[in-house]
Amino acid sequence: MVQHTRLDASFSALSDATRRGVLEQLGRSDASITELADRFHMTLTGMKKHVGVLEQAGFVTTQKVGRVRTCRLGLGRLEEEAAWIERYRQLWAARFDALDAVVEDLKRKEKIDE
Amino acid sequence: MSNPTTVDRTSEREIVVTRTFDAPARIVFEAWTKADLFKLWWAPKSLGMHLRSCEMDVRVGGGYRLEFGQDAANAMAFFGTYTEVTPPSRLVWTNDESDDGPVTTVTFEETDGRTRVVLHELHPSKEALDANIGAADGLPEQFEQLDELLVTLGASA
């Protein structure tokens, strides 16, 4: 349902052994596309494609400095959304705790008035 | 022990917040529709939020305006119009501070003297909701304050 397309992107990104290897590698340290291509015995173009898929799914972020594009692990889109929802929940929980106090107060006043 | 607050993304365009209160709907509804009560809880002190002003004309076609911030220079305004007002069970308002703001619907369901509040925020598009979620710098200031608070709490824990 809701997160179908995102899940699809996540799963298809992870369905490839090279891409899983790249994530494992980036978990140890950041690396340039060239370094990744060397390590996985691939052409630069091939590695760029894999990194692109991982980037689309939010698993990897890249930054180009000069002629070198450095890759690092990104916060996954689902993770990002979960974190946002948690912050949103904290806001509403705090609001509703305060509303609870207001409501209890109104209830007490009503009892006194009766 | 307070009742739990839940938040769910129920569709590509919608966020739903729920909470039950130990009071009849007319009392909870009152706290949502009288400015002097509303301002006591909408900007909870526990989050370091400061509500500068709060004007509410709760009737169909009536407007509201909330201003947050410590001073006028840093004020952040939220405003819109009430499109449905059905005491004590339903409130609908628009959020007009941006072009693609959501429509907020709040329902108050009373059972055995307790009231379940369900707040829906329906965004005009998936992109509009995603933009809220995606961009860290697009978060309203209260989230930043909340983050700061959480960091402080985490540090002292």
Query: Cβ of A102 and B41 within 8 Å?
Result: yes
**Given a cut of 50, is residue B157 above it in pLDDT?**
no
> Considering only CB atoms, which chain A residues are within 8 Å of B15?
85, 88
Considering only CA atoms, which of B17, B14, B15 is closest in space to residue B5?
B17
B121 and B57 Cβ atoms separated by less than 8 Å: no
Query: Cβ of B31 and A89 within 8 Å?
Result: no
The answer on A107 and A58 residing in a single domain is no
**Given a cut of 90, is residue B13 above it in pLDDT?**
yes
What is the C-alpha to C-alpha distance for residues B62 and B94, in angstroms, rounded to an integer? 11
Count of domains observed in chain A:
2
pLDDT bin (cut points 50, 70, 90) of residue B3 is confident
| A73-82, A104-113, B19-28, B109-118, range with the lowest pLDDT | A73-82
The answer on A108 and A56 residing in a single domain is no
Q: If DSSP states are collapsed to H, E and C, what string results for chain A? A: CCCHHHHHHHHHHHCCHHHHHHHHHHHHCCEEHHHHHHHCCCCHHHHHHHHHHHHHCCCEEEEEECCEEEEEECCCHHHHHHHHHHHHHHHHHHHHHHHHHHHHHHHHHHHHHC
The answer on A16 and A54 residing in a single domain is yes
The answer on A69 and A13 residing in a single domain is yes
| Predicted-assembly ipTM surpassing the 0.85 threshold | no
**Given a cut of 90, is residue B105 above it in pLDDT?**
yes
The answer on A68 and A93 residing in a single domain is no
The answer on A99 and A66 residing in a single domain is no
The answer on A63 and A87 residing in a single domain is no
What is the C-alpha to C-alpha distance for residues A61 and A41, in angstroms, rounded to an integer? 22
Higher pLDDT, residue B153 or B58: B58
Query: Cβ of A94 and B19 within 8 Å?
Result: no
Residues of A (72-111) whose Cβ lies below 8 Å from B: 80-81, 84-85, 87-104, 106-107, 110
pLDDT bin (cut points 50, 70, 90) of residue B71 is confident
CA angle B144, B131, B126 (to 5 degrees): 140
Residue ranges making up the domain that contains A51 = 4-73
Q: Which residue of B has its CA nearest to A98?
A: B41
The answer on A98 and A86 residing in a single domain is yes
Query: Cβ of A96 and B2 within 8 Å?
Result: yes
DSSP character at residue B83 = E
Which helix (H) or strand (E) covers residue B9, if one does? strand B6-11
Strand boundaries in B13-146, DSSP class E: 14-21, 51-56, 63-68, 76-86, 90-94, 103-111, 114-122
The answer on A54 and A98 residing in a single domain is no
**Given a cut of 80, is residue B147 above it in pLDDT?**
no
Higher pLDDT, residue B68 or B29: B29
CATH of the domain at A45: 1.10.10.10
- Crossing angle of helices A4-14 and A44-56, in 10° steps, is 150
pTM (two decimals) = 0.67
What is the C-alpha to C-alpha distance for residues B49 and A87, in angstroms, rounded to an integer? 15
Considering only CA atoms, which of B99, B90, B68, B65 is closest in space to residue B80?
B65
The answer on A85 and A40 residing in a single domain is no
Structure-block tokens of residue A6: 């995102």
The answer on A47 and A90 residing in a single domain is no
Structure-block tokens of residue B91: 């409130």
pLDDT bin (cut points 50, 70, 90) of residue B1 is low
Give all domains of chain B, ordered by start, each with its CATH number: 6-156 (3.30.530.20)
The answer on A107 and A81 residing in a single domain is yes
Q: How high is the pLDDT of residue B117?
A: 95
